[in-house]
């Protein structure tokens, strides 16, 4: 496993954990409140983070190859 794969796996694991926690809290928010708006923005950011981690693993992208020599 190269450094990029480890970073993408960590990004995916952390993103999924935060996404599940935030989605659970989303059901408790009242629409129209400030907390609801923050939750929606947070969910959007976490979805992007999970998609980035999944895409990096799926396509085998190695952006850290030039930084970390194995």
- Show the tokens assigned to 28: 């408790």
Average pLDDT over the chain, rounded to an integer: 92
Distances (CA, A) of 53 to 34, 48, 65: 29, 9, 16
Q: The pTM is what? A: 0.81
pLDDT at residue number 14 = 96
Contact (Cβ atoms closer than 8 angstroms) between residue 3 and residue 68: yes
| Intervals of the chain under pLDDT 50 | none
> Measured in whole angstroms, how far is the alpha carbon of residue 4 from the centre of its chain?
15
- In whole angstroms, give the CA distance from residue 28 to residue 8: 31
């Amino acid at each position: 496993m190269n450094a990029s794969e480890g970073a993408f796996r960590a990004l995916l694991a952390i993103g999924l954990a935060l996404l599940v926690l935030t989605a659970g809290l989303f059901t408790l928010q009242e629409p129209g409140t400030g907390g609801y708006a923050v939750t929606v923005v947070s969910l959007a950011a976490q979805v992007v983070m999970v998609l980035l981690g999944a895409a990096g693993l799926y396509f085998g992208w190695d952006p850290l190859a030039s930084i970390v020599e194995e």
